[in-house]
């Protein structure tokens, strides 16, 4: 089985990454926990898949599992992750090293902890280029300068010799993007790429990712808490809760017709331009820890629309028109159209 990159670029919209029934389990002293349990989705070339949900829903673990970055043991994986038909779960560690940073790259949440503090940013980018493209030291450093210029860092010839602590938060995030894109990957996984950045820098970072995606034809997985970011930057959206996919739809369909109570709750917690009340709707309780999951729907304890079967049976994904998927027994009810103030139809406290 080869990991060589195919010469022909995929046409926009063609399946690039297919995740099929991905499970990630951890063996702990308290027993086996399942932070990712049977997740499936497709990332298409040139398009962006948004992955949303509260902290603890399994978003980052899913991303790390795709790249097989979790230590095994204690982690165990099941299911398939196919990149252009090649199942990454069946590759050796040596073959995976040719995938990571080369065909699939990842922007991690916190650049200060992800960048090596004792190496210059130029050297860190150059090392990736030398590893995957067998470039000379001089050519790799020149590529580092080019990448810093591409991500709009001023004076890139000087910045390549600086260390991460000498750069601002926005610049460090741009360095992370430069590092991720240095080898022109087919797929970019961006895990909260705008965390802890001010609004202006957030917009610049997201615009930069979008422009580079159009230029390189990448597929993008954008992990975020911000539904506004999803609405502006994604083509399709995956909503996760407690390690499972609870809803998936095209971005327009999801915002026009959210079906799962959790999705509706997330949207209701966002401020609106025409908001008349000072208090936002909130979701009571917390996401259950992976070791606390039992029978039934994981969201049932927080959902006032839950029925008796929600506590005893696990809902399976159902197709609700077109490519809109949802896992919820309550969808059998006649939902009202989404409105600006949906508290009455949401099943949430007033």
Distance from first CA to last CA of the chain, Å, rounded? 57
Residue 19, CA distances (Å) to 28, 39, 50, 97, 222 in order? 25, 7, 14, 19, 15
Distance CA 221, CA 215 (A): 16
292: DSSP letter: G
- Residue 203 confidence (pLDDT): 86
Q: Within 13 Å of residue 346, how many CA atoms lie on the same side as its CB? A: 23
Q: DSSP letter for 45, please.
A: T
CA distance 350 to 348: 6
Smallest CA-to-CA distance from 37 within 237, 293, 262 is with 293
CB 55 within 8 Å of CB 226: no
Q: Tokens in use for 5?
A: 């990159």
Tokens linked to 300? 């049932």
In sequence order, what are the residues at sequence separation of 6 or more whose Cβ sits closer than 8 angstroms to the Cβ of residue 177?
107, 151, 193, 205, 208, 209, 212
Supply the pLDDT for residue 205: 83
List of residues 6+ apart from 120 with CB closer than 8 A: 160, 161, 162, 163
Cα separation, 208 vs 203, in Å, equals 8
pLDDT value for 318 = 92
Exposure string over 54-90, b if 16+ CB within 10 A, otherwise e = bebbbbbbbbbbbbbebeeeebebebebbbbebebbe
d(CA 105, CA 100): 6
Buried b (16+ CB within 10 A) or exposed e, 6-18: eeeebeeeeebbb
- Binned average pLDDT, 10 residues per bin, the chain of 350 residues: 54 93 89 91 96 93 95 90 96 93 89 86 93 90 93 92 91 89 92 79 85 89 92 96 96 95 90 70 86 87 88 92 90 48 38
Among residues 233, 224, 114, 98, which one has the least CA distance to residue 179? 114
Instruction: Check: CB of residue 318 under 8 Å from CB of residue 332.
Output: no
Q: Positive or negative CA dihedral for 68, 74, 75, 78?
A: positive
Strand partners, 194: none
For residues 92 and 108, give the distance between their C-alpha atoms in angstroms, rounded to a whole number: 23
> How many Å apart are CA 88 and CA 65, to the nearest integer?
10
DSSP one-letter code for 272: -
């Amino acid at each position: 089985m080869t990991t060589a990159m195919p010469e022909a670029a995929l046409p926009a919209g063609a399946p690039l990454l297919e995740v099929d029934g991905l499970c990630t389990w951890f063996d702990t002293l308290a027993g086996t926990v399942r932070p990712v349990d049977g997740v499936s989705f497709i990332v298409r070339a040139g398009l962006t898949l948004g992955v949303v949900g509260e902290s603890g829903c399994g978003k980052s673990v899913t991303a790390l599992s795709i790249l097989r970055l979790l230590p095994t043991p204690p982690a165990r994986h099941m299911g398939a992750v196919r990149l252009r038909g090649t199942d990454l779960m069946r590759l050796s560690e040596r073959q995976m090293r040719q995938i990571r940073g080369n065909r699939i790259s990842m922007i991690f949440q916190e650049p200060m902890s992800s960048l090596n503090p004792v190496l210059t940013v130029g050297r860190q980018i150059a090392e990736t280029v030398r590893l995957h493209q067998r470039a000379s030291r001089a050519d790799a450093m020149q590529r580092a300068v080019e990448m810093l210029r591409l991500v709009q860092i001023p004076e890139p010839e000087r910045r390549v010799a600086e260390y991460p602590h000498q750069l601002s938060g926005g610049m460090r995030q741009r360095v992370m993007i430069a590092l991720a894109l240095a080898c022109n990957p087919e797929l970019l996984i961006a895990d909260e790429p705008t965390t802890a950045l001010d609004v202006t820098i957030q917009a610049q970072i997201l615009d930069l990712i979008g422009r580079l995606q159009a230029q390189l034809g990448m597929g993008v997985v954008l992990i975020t808490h911000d539904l506004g970011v999803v609405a502006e930057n994604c083509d399709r959206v995956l909503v996760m809760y407690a390690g499972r996919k609870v809803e998936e739809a095209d971005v327009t369909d999801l915002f026009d017709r959210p079906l799962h109570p959790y999705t509706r709750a997330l949207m209701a917690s966002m401020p609106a331009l025409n908001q008349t009340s000072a208090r936002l709707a909130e979701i009571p309780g917390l996401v259950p820890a992976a070791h606390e999951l039992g029978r039934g729907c994981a969201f049932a304890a927080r959902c006032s629309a839950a029925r008796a079967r929600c506590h005893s049976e696990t809902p399976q994904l159902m197709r609700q028109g077109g490519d809109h998927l949802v896992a919820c027994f309550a969808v059998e009810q006649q939902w009202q159209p989404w409105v600006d103030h949906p508290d009455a139809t949401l099943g949430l406290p007033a």
